[in-house]
Amino acid sequence: MTLEGARERRVRTGGVELSVAELGDPGRPVVMLVHGYPDSKEVWSEVAARLADRFHVVLYDVRGHGRSTAPSPLRGGFTLEKLTDDFLAVADAVSPGRPVHLVGHDWGSVQSWEFVTVHRTEGRIASFTSMSGPSLDHLGHWIKRRTHRPTPRRAAQLLGQGARSWYVYLLHTPALPELAWRGPLGKHWADVLRRGERVPGGAYPAPSLPTDAAHGAWLYRDNVRPRLHHPRTDAYAHAPVQLITPVGDRFLSERLHDELDRWVPQLTRRTLPAGHWIPRTPPEQVASWIGEFVTSVEAGRPSPATRGRYADRFGGRLVLVTGAGSGIGRATALAFAAAGARVVAVDRDQRSATATAEEARLRGATTAWAEQADVADEADMEKLAERVTLDYGVVDVLVNNAGIGLSGSFFDTTAEDWRSVLDVNLWGVLHSCRLFGKRMAERGEGGHIVNVASAAAYQPSRTLPAYSTSKAAVLMLSECLRAELAGQDIGVSAICPGFVHTNITATARFTGVDRVEEKRRQQRVSRLYGLRGYPPEKVADAILRAVVRNQPVVPVAPEARALHLLSRVAPRALRALARWQPRV
């Protein structure tokens, strides 16, 4: 996708002529996209096209890049002060009476931090979205604090970022970067991005890449050393800032932004499981977050990402939870809602799914929907996957929670009993992982799958042969999927709760007894679990934490952790415990 069809204009400023492209209705709020190194404005084509139906989108080639002319001489022509002049010239040309919403990536973000923190731009910027590019002033203070007051942790952070910044040192060498970019590096850059960053090809990068990269080396030479040695002490943002941090960025550490709240009074944080070039790799998500942030600022309300724990990670993400009508599923859906996610609550009981979706909206979900489906029914799940993808998009986080309980000895468990348990507890997970996980993989933007197993997955029991077998299969399935999908940035976590007070105990079936005895056992077990008092909200917290940390197997509750430890260090003790016959 290119910028064909965009309205073009030339803006003269400071001895250069800037190439400016515009998309969308000029009467709508202006979103200005500033590219990084070694890019031109074409890096934004995918994002710009997705924003153009709602905003007046403006892109320009930074001086010396793309179709903009270069300063002469090059040395001293790329200072932050001159780049600020360029920004103001473009802003005055496209939006003379209204502040613009600024978005920057890489060096576009570095220079935009200058724009949003200097006094002469106050009133010209309505908001700023930063991606993969820190303020040189903030970075200078970050380095000084770690060199003047070192601790082992600070030293490790400093060394880590120093290693990631290897290219900055090379760009300061005379002539070498220019020769590399006009030679082999420029010829093979598209292959480097495709293999190393999974950036799709097409019309990007632009044909002007070798010249853009050679000129852009002066961005580093004119600014990095002076600002890091003498950072400004008044570099406070005078507009709301949204920080989007790709956690897979190989050039910048997440730790660079640990102290950003000191400089930004109104800060919204989001993280993305992606590499450095996020304007090209997950353009849908980037455009969605930009649009949501701009809309919230225009409306004078806080962004959803400012609410709730983990809101920086899940704000605006699409989360689907099965078995969401009650218990762990409901608690999980509400926890994601509190983090600002878009929630799809799935349950075979439409009424309970609707109740969860309604509560999710009250808890802070960007939006929430209720869907009825039986996870054991393959055709039903196929229809659900098609409906969700068409109406809401590809799921970012999938939580397979739906399950049923069954207790009784092996010989009292009929073939039909086995089928009912495996259809829901195992096949339900298989259907969901295959249908939603495949779409997640085909999208190529990462994601996460959570399969709720049980501590029974690794604790054998003479009274739970069918249930334990189904959950052990879910645990192994999760481990296999995790291995297969790791290369596609899709995490898989198996959650193994212990005794959690949910209504599964009230609906669990008991084999080998009549209806009256089964009802008595259900009531007794529910009472015992109630006395244990471990709420499903704690499992929900563990699920969100597992996604954030990409944890493989997560025992939840003290007994689950103890049994998991025994399964690793003393399996004979678990086998002995399995012979115990509990009273019910």
**Residues with Cβ < 8 Å from 403, sequence gap 6 or more?**
323, 424, 425, 428, 452, 470, 504
- CA-based diameter of the chain, in Å? 92
Any catalytic annotation for residue 467? yes
The C-alpha atoms of residue 469 and residue 418 are separated, in whole angstroms, by 10
CB 303 within 8 A of CB 293: yes
The C-alpha atoms of residue 154 and residue 145 are separated, in whole angstroms, by 9
Q: What is the signed CA dihedral for 241, 246, 250, 255, rounded to 10 degrees?
A: 50
Q: Which of 470, 445, 76 is nearest to 284 (CA)?
A: 445
CB 40 within 8 A of CB 18: no
- Catalogue the long-range contacts made by 161-166 (C-beta closer than 8 Å, 24 or more residues apart): 161/252, 161/253, 161/255, 161/256, 164/250, 164/251, 164/252, 164/253, 165/251
CB 346 within 8 A of CB 380: no
Beta strands 318-322; 267-272: pairing state: unpaired
Phi/psi of residue 345, nearest 5 degrees = -95, 115
Pick the catalytic residue from 458, 467, 529, 534.
Answer: 467
**Residues with Cβ < 8 Å from 539, sequence gap 6 or more?**
328, 331, 332, 452, 495, 497, 500, 556
Q: How many CB atoms lie within 10 A of CB 188?
A: 11
Six-digit token pair at 172?
């300061």
The C-alpha atoms of residue 152 and residue 156 are separated, in whole angstroms, by 6
Which three-class secondary structure state does DSSP give residue 109? helix
DSSP letters for 293-345 = HHHHHHHT---GGGSSTTHHHHTT-EEEEETTTSHHHHHHHHHHHHTT-EEEE
Catalytic residue numbers, as ranges: 467
